[in-house]
Amino acid sequence: MLHRTVQITVNTALLLLVVAALLPFAFMVLTGIQESTTVSLAFDPAKLQLDNFVRLFTEYQFGRALVTSAVVVVLACVVNLVVSSLAAYAFAKKPFPGSEALFWVYIATMMVPVQVTIIPLFLIVRDLGLLNTPVALILPIINAFGVFLIRQFMSSVPDELLEAARIDGAKDLRIFAAIVLPLIKPVLIALTVFTFITAWNDFLWPLVVISDESMQTVTLAAARLQGRFLTDYGLVMAGATVSFLVPFLIYLFLQRRFVQGVASIGLKG
Amino acid sequence: MRATTTTVASEPIPGATDSGPVQQRPRANTRRRSFSGLGYLMPSLIVLAVVIVAPIGMSAYFSLTDYSLLGEPQWAGLQNYGDLLSDTGFRQAMWQTFVYTVISVPLQTVLALVIAAVIARRLRNRFGGFIRSALFIPVIAAMVIIGSVWRYLLGTEDGLVNSILGLVGINNVNWLGEATTALIVVALVTVWKNIGYFLVIYYAGMLDIPEDLYEASSIDGAGGVRQFWSITVPSLRPVTFLVVILGTIWSFQVFDLVYAMTGGGPGGGTVTLVMAIYNTGFENMQMGYASAMAMVLFVIVFLVSFTQRVLLSRK
């Protein structure tokens, strides 16, 4: 009897937590699809409309921002995967004199927050003439974390397997692409999902390197709406909804990958 | 997947103590093989050099100069650092970042631990999985978007928060209008966002605690709360350590949320370290002075994560 009461109390508390986690998003969407220039909790089906979304795309270049974000995100994922997995292969399977020391340097770079390097990085990007380009946006997304994560998994691929392929006459690059990569697919997907969300949600760096409105990312476009219309809540929340929708849909499809990724961060220590 | 990671993590770096086939090969062949790895490393080496290593050096150099972006950097020695010491605005930003950290980190750690324990001990079923998934949703949203949504919900007149509080007789609080409450509210929103992330890390850690421990203590008559204190909490000490360190590092890097929720106001009451760097560098064009602030951030974050590495590798 007592046990049952405890159980019900615990479950109710957890459900309340879920409500607290999701309610803000529900109101974000509700405000976006209603005709509202004031803050209002009243939900009136008669006021339902998609006008805010239409305005986002016709007046505030959200279509263009979506394309920019998509390009940036795809570029960031591909480049990060290729660069990181090649480097991880070198560290895990093709060590050279000094590679252990170099790996520690890699780990050390993970302790440098982007915010610390933002000023010189801005100057480098400016001098290279890359301001307002997608290339500038992906640069700080590529870091040592991917190398670190992939290396951990590559080390679990048995050396004997690679040796056998080598005896069969396979070249290194072929061993890498045909044997190692397929075996570590889960971590590659997890890293892709991570890179995707990081690139899509990035804000400070785009704020610094993108001044041209035709090159802004979705997050930037949504934030600029708020700066411009402190009181047009419907429009601002519609912008927030558009920005949130893509990561949310990806999460719905790839939930387990997210959780795996986060869990493996916890265990890497 | 989790099991693999744990075993792999404790392995030495391959090749360091490798024996067998490699050593049996002719010497020339070994040498050719041993340096070919460098080629695979090149793309990432170049990117890291341009994006992190060179900028850190440049940041250190700029911090010793006066640099307005218009002219060349003018050598200023330790002037900027001296100025930081007496700069009340900077001191305020440091203090506010500290307060924000002290509010958010313990709260999110304890809440994530307790919720994870409840789910792992009582609800290892679909309902538990659903709760983990739902609490993870704030994690995937951009900080800047969360900032603008909460700014809306906290709106004075008829915002969600005041409307709910109105039901229990608390009248319109101007949450973001007072410096003190604004800083606390920003910290609480951070907790709201981070719980799902740390919950997953804790949950993964809990699955590694041997079930026998709980069974044995049940036979000895220990209840759930007792087990939590005597088994769960001590077993998860390394995870707690990681969660606290990660949370602290993130706190010192906060920018997006504050930018969207308060813009640093009211009266500079929510300006954090990174916001001070941004304003000084990109609004006031004092790149040298902003770089000095960035170096302070660098030292703090580096020390915190270095402590983590040292303490964890000793285990």
Q: pLDDT (tens digit, 9 = 90+) per residue, A174-210?
A: 999 999 999 999 889 989 988 999 999 999 999 999 9
For the residues A22-34, what does the mean pLDDT come to? 90
pLDDT at B4 exceeding the cut of 60: no
Of A19-23, A41-45, B102-106, B234-238, which range is least confident?
Answer: A41-45
pLDDT more than 90, % of chain B: 60
What's the mean pLDDT when you consider all of chain B? Answer: 86
Non-local CB neighbours of B225 within 8 Å, separated by 6+ positions: none
Buried b (16+ CB within 10 A) or exposed e, B38-62: bebbebbbebbebbbbebbebbeeb
Count CB-CB contacts under 10 A for residue A194.
21
Give the one of B35, B137, B255 whose C-beta lies nearest to A22's C-beta.
Answer: B137
pLDDT tens digits for B156-190?
667 788 888 888 888 788 888 888 999 999 999 99
pLDDT tens digits for B7-16?
333 333 443 4
pLDDT band at B69 (very low <50, low <70, confident <90, very high): confident
**Which chain A residue's Cα is nearest to B291?**
A119
Q: Does A186 touch chain B (CB under 8 A)?
A: yes
The B residues from 232 to 261 touching A (CB cutoff 8 Å) are: 238-239, 242-243, 249, 252-253, 255-256, 259-260
Q: Tokens 């719980």 belong to which residue?
A: B195
Please enumerate, as own/partner, the contacts of A100-109 that have beta carbons within 8 Å and a separation of 24 or more: A100/B13, A100/B16, A102/B41, A103/A151, A103/B13, A106/A144, A106/A147, A106/A148, A106/B48, A107/A144, A107/A148, A107/B309, A109/A143, A109/A144, A109/B48, A109/B52, A109/B53
Give the one of B7, B192, B238 whose C-beta lies nearest to A269's C-beta.
Answer: B238
Which of A115, A123, A188 is best to mutate for the B interface (most B CBs within 10 A)? A115
pLDDT at A267 exceeding the cut of 70: no
How many Å apart are CA A87 and CA A69, to the nearest integer? Answer: 26
How many Å apart are CA A102 and CA A100, to the nearest integer? Answer: 5
H helical segments located in chain B: 2-9, 21-24, 27-48, 54-62, 79-86, 88-122, 126-140, 143-153, 160-167, 179-207, 211-219, 224-227, 233-235, 237-252, 256-261, 273-278, 287-314
Angle of the A99-109 helix axis to the A144-154 helix axis, nearest 10: 130
* Predicted local distance difference test score (pLDDT) of residue B221: 86
3-state secondary structure of A34: strand
* Predicted local distance difference test score (pLDDT) of residue A153: 87
**Which chain A residue's Cα is nearest to B136?**
A21
pLDDT at A3 exceeding the cut of 90: no
pLDDT at B46 exceeding the cut of 90: yes
* Predicted local distance difference test score (pLDDT) of residue B156: 62
For the residues B145-160, what does the mean pLDDT come to? 85
Calculate the alpha carbon distances from B170 to A115, B152, B163, B166, B176 in Å.
40, 19, 9, 5, 16
Of A43-52, A209-218, B234-243, which range is least confident?
Answer: A43-52
Collect all residues of chain B within an 8 Å Cβ-Cβ radius of residue A193: none
Torsion angle of C-alpha atoms B115, B119, B122, B127, degrees rounded to 10: 130
Q: How many residues does chain B have?
A: 315
CA distance A21 to chain B (A): 6
Token code pair at residue B161: 């928060």
Calculate the alpha carbon distances from B51 to B45, B165, B188, B240 in Å.
10, 47, 33, 31
Token code pair at residue B67: 């640099």
Decide: B114 and B206 in contact? Cβ < 8 Å: no
Give which of A162, A170, A171, A84 is closest to B36, Cα–Cα: A171
Calculate the alpha carbon distances from B99 to A150, B132, B140, B252, B268 in Å.
36, 29, 25, 11, 14
Decide: A69 and A77 in contact? Cβ < 8 Å: no
Give which of A176, A168, A194 is closest to A265, Cα–Cα: A194
pLDDT band at A19 (very low <50, low <70, confident <90, very high): very high
pLDDT tens digits for A131-188?
999 999 999 999 899 999 899 889 888 999 998 998 998 888 899 999 999 999 988 9
The A residues from 237 to 256 touching B (CB cutoff 8 Å) are: 237, 240, 243-244, 247-248, 250-251, 255
Which of A8, A15, A116 is best to mutate for the B interface (most B CBs within 10 A)? A116
CB contact under 8 A, B192 and A20: yes
* Predicted local distance difference test score (pLDDT) of residue B260: 94
CA distance A119 to chain B (A): 7
Which is more confidently placed, B30 or B228?
Answer: B228
Give the one of A21, A91, A204 whose C-beta lies nearest to B138's C-beta.
Answer: A21
* Predicted local distance difference test score (pLDDT) of residue B16: 41
* Predicted local distance difference test score (pLDDT) of residue B30: 46
Token code pair at residue A140: 């700080």
How many Å apart are CA A215 and CA B129, to the nearest integer? Answer: 40
* Predicted local distance difference test score (pLDDT) of residue B150: 94
pLDDT at B18 exceeding the cut of 50: no
For the residues B86-95, what does the mean pLDDT come to? 95
CB contact under 8 A, B15 and A14: no
The B residues from 276 to 315 touching A (CB cutoff 8 Å) are: 277-278, 281-282, 287, 290-291, 294-295, 297-298, 301-302, 305-306, 309, 312
CA A13 to chain centre: 31
How many Å apart are CA B251 and CA A77, to the nearest integer? Answer: 26
Which is more confidently placed, A213 or A1?
Answer: A213
What's the mean pLDDT when you consider all of chain A? Answer: 88
Which is more confidently placed, A169 or B2?
Answer: A169
For the residues A217-232, what does the mean pLDDT come to? 86
Peptide bond into B210 cis (omega under 30): no
> For residue A191, what is the enclosing H or E element?
helix A185-201
Q: Does A112 touch chain B (CB under 8 A)?
A: yes
Which of A204, A216, A229 is best to mutate for the B interface (most B CBs within 10 A)? A204
